[in-house]
Structure 1
Amino acid sequence: MKKTLVSALTTALVIGAASTTFAASNPFSDVPADHWAYDAVTQLAADGVIEGYGDSTFQGNKNITRYEMAQMVAKAMAKTDVSAADKALIDKLAAEFSDELNNLGVRVSNLEKHSDMVKWNGKLRYTYSSKRVEDEAKDDSKDKTNKDELLFRLEPTAEVNDHWNVKARLDAKTYLDSDSGNGSDDVKLKRAYAEGNYKNFSTQLGKFGLYTPEEGLVFDDEMSGAKVTFGKDLKASLYAGRLDLSDSATAKNMTGGSAHYDDTANMQGITLQYSNPAASKLSGGAAYYHLNSDSFKGSTDNKINSGVAYAKGANDEDTANIWSLNAAYNFDGISKLSAAYANNTSADNLNHSWQALYNYKGAQAENKGTWGAYAGYRYLGTNASLFGTQDAQIVGAKGWEVGANYTPFKNVVATAKYFNGKGIESDRDAETLWGRVEFQF
């Protein structure tokens, strides 16, 4: 086998460079520009697949050893931007020179190459909240609950092939006021799922984030099961799986015990959502969700947030049937007005929720100095917003919420929110100061 004039062409096919013309200077004195292998040799040198000799020669007529060929194959294996056909050729070459590659330690190198397909993102997040609720027994006084939470999150993404990825989320929490976690939830695998993306079709399988189009009015949590989405401008999403009721917004707020919410609920749902920014500033959709659990039966009579609301069950039914509508108008690409409504037709009380929000701009973690602000009114019925978003806002309460975020440094985002309102049933005054700083990586 000749040195690399033959093997260079073989490897050039691997990296798709055999017909490329270069303006760069000739890397080898013994391969003139009019040589039949000039393009391939120059490309291979530029890509680091071949190096030549210390005297700036290529010595293309010199016999090549299997060890030298294995070195070139190893370097070709490290490339990522190759076609399926070229990848097949690399695999054949790797099989042929497997012993030599093993001696070169390419098994380790290959594992390192595949590890590059796993991307790690994460954040360190500090959250402070101070909730103040009117005390029923004391005039003009409020019960105050403060929380200092520190969260460390890792989110790996592993590429399986051109269409599939595997993703996960691992959260570790501690509370700075007591320097302790929350029992078994100190370190928790929050998500682990496979995600497939095709043209006008996508799917998620496993335990994944559940944030439906109502912008956190009904669901802002995780579910275990499957989700499929198909369509282009008009998209339909189908959901089927289970939700942990002990992790619901209602259960998280309980001060009188949460035994009634230690069950899981089966959930099936469908959402229809239209959005085409190029054709219309309007977007919107509708949804229906069916949940089934013994936890929905009867009345829990457990207090929420020291009397802001009471978590009462639907009736004797073990189901929750929630339908919702949402709409948004994007004014100029930087400001948006949105609204949503949801109703649990199986519940007798606290059975509906609605919100109207105005968003202006928004902080971008990658761009220092960017910022955003929002204002809105939210009415969160406990039995309609079982898994609803509640940062400053309290499920079971109604009122105004304002907030802003800012990026003082790249990948550092600060957010502040303030809520002022009343319990829907108790009519007690409630307010929340809420702040968060995130260091993203």
Structure 2
Amino acid sequence: MKKHMLSALVGAALIGALSSSAAAAANPFSDVPRDHWAYDAVTQLAADGVVEGYGDGTYRGDRSITRYEMAQMTARAMAKGDLSASDRALVDRLAAEFADELNNLGVRVSNLERNADMVKWEGELRYVYLSYRDERRDGTTDKHNTNMLQVRLLPNAEINKNWRVKARLTGTTALAKDQAGNVALSYLYADGNYGKLRLQFGKMSHFWSYSDDGLVADSWFSGAIATYGSKVKVMAEAGRWNMKSAHVGISGYVPAGGDTSNHQGIGIDYANGKLQAGVAYRRWEADTFRLLPQYRRNGTSNRASIWSVGGKYSFTKNVALAARFAENTEADNYNRSYNFQLNYKGSNTKDPGSWGAYVAYRRLGGYSTLMPTYEIHRQTYKTPVHDGEFGTKGWVVGGSFAPMMNTNIDVGYFHGKSLNTGKSAETLYTRVQMFW
């Protein structure tokens, strides 16, 4: 890269903000005349001690320099701890550009990149098409299509080297009705990391365990999570869970007069090489948390006590087998769920053209799978009068493909039966995601 091309980047970023103060700065470089287009930016950076030039008093802006030389200058600028906000922003951009060269020089850029912006925004545009068909008990057939467009905005703010604040804003549009809903705050929490210890406080997702991988509850609750360990992790959480917003009750539990339950959970995960495994216990309880009388065990009516165990083994880098099982010890029926899944490869949004496929057999009992991550089954949890409200079982085949950078397409097909009626049920699912 030519030095004057770098000057263009420097000048465009700083000339407007720094021109007034740079005019008063002395020109330290004999080969940068006052009428040079980058004069203000160069002299200000030199005055701030960010750019030092060469020992002979020249900037050498008209000769070609190597990326290695530019990385050396950037490294010297990174070592300065008293830069102004505008100078620091410029140095951060240079460090990102010359990250490989800086790493070769032994200069770590991870901390610099982490502090480049105190607040970072990521996002996702998501399109979902879901079509399901279920046979009712009376012999009629229920058909329904979902055609949804969603935007997710994810601010991530750095508080200090240990703490961040994370959030997600979600806006949804029903395309068939051309009807947009309100933008909702899905979660908001503080996330602290101290080596092997991680602490989270606020409204956040349940801890993610190898034991169930979203089989039990892929939802958000208000409270706290503590995680400790690396290869072996111990996780504990406690707080309040809004059952109505998570569609609980459609799977058998009924929020009568109130929507929120007390919640506690604990889990242990292990990961080493090809093997991942875990066990977890979760409990929800509320005076208004009713288990339908015909499915109670030992007269208990206001609790869900769910154990889960499972794991995944990777035979090769492309082939992995996962098995998960969950049971609600408070219920006598619809109380067991499991998922056996064989994965081949997988798509990667940073690797256009990558793809993956899977086949699975799942049984989702309504009293042990309160809010699963498997969207292809969720229609049975969203229609309370539906015959399939207590869950489904059957085969799923699916795949994923990354057609271009930061884009992913998922497709899936489920064919099985309602646990309640034994009648057939099938779903076609498509999801397109674009990330930034």
Normalising by structure 2, report the TM-score: 0.71
2:193 equivalent in structure 1: 197
**Is residue 2:233 matched to residue 1:232?**
no
**Is residue 2:333 matched to residue 1:368?**
no
Bigger radius of gyration: 1
Q: Deviations over 1:33-61 (max 9, x none)?
A: xxxxxx9xx948985999xxxxxxxxxxx
2:157 equivalent in structure 1: 158
Report the residue type matching 1:244 in the other structure.
N
After TM superposition, give the deviation of residue 115 of structure 1 in Å: 8.5
Change (3 A) 1:300 1:428: farther
In 2, Cα distance between equivalents of 1:117 and 1:75: 13
Report the residue type matching 2:173 in the other structure.
T
1:288 equivalent in structure 2: 281
Contact 1:245 1:261 in 2 (8 A): no
SS at match of 1:226: strand
Q: In structure 1, list runs of 5 or more residues that go unmatched.
A: 19-23, 32-38, 51-69, 82-112, 302-311
In 2, Cα distance between equivalents of 1:289 and 1:44: 51
After TM superposition, give the deviation of residue 355 of structure 1 in Å: 1.1
1:407 equivalent in structure 2: 402
Matching of residues 289-304 of structure 1 within 5 Å: 289-299=282-292
Change (3 A) 1:265 1:399: same
Report the residue type matching 2:192 in the other structure.
G
SS at match of 1:392: helix
Contact 2:123 2:435 in 1 (8 A): yes
Amino-acid identity (%): 35
1:383 equivalent in structure 2: 367
In 2, Cα distance between equivalents of 1:261 and 1:339: 37
Q: Deviations over 1:394-438 (max 9, x none)?
A: 461111111111111111211111101111131111000111111
Q: Deviations over 1:134-189 (max 9, x none)?
A: 13323xx521011111111100111111121110000001111112246xxx3210
**Is residue 2:144 matched to residue 1:148?**
no
In 2, Cα distance between equivalents of 1:150 and 1:300: 39
**Is residue 2:411 matched to residue 1:416?**
yes
Cα RMSD (Å) of the superposition?
3.7
In 2, Cα distance between equivalents of 1:225 and 1:325: 24
In 1, Cα distance between equivalents of 2:160 and 2:422: 55
Matching of residues 325-340 of structure 1 within 5 Å: 325-340=309-324
Report the residue type matching 2:119 in the other structure.
V
In 2, Cα distance between equivalents of 1:317 and 1:197: 39
**Is residue 2:302 matched to residue 1:318?**
yes
Number of residue pairs the alignment of both structures matches: 351
Change (3 A) 1:75 1:421: closer
In 2, Cα distance between equivalents of 1:435 and 1:317: 38
Match of 1:207 among 197, 203, 208: 203
Contact 1:246 1:261 in 2 (8 A): no
In 2, Cα distance between equivalents of 1:381 and 1:400: 15
In 1, Cα distance between equivalents of 2:220 and 2:183: 16
Change (3 A) 1:333 1:163: farther
Change (3 A) 1:77 1:363: closer
SS at match of 2:244: helix
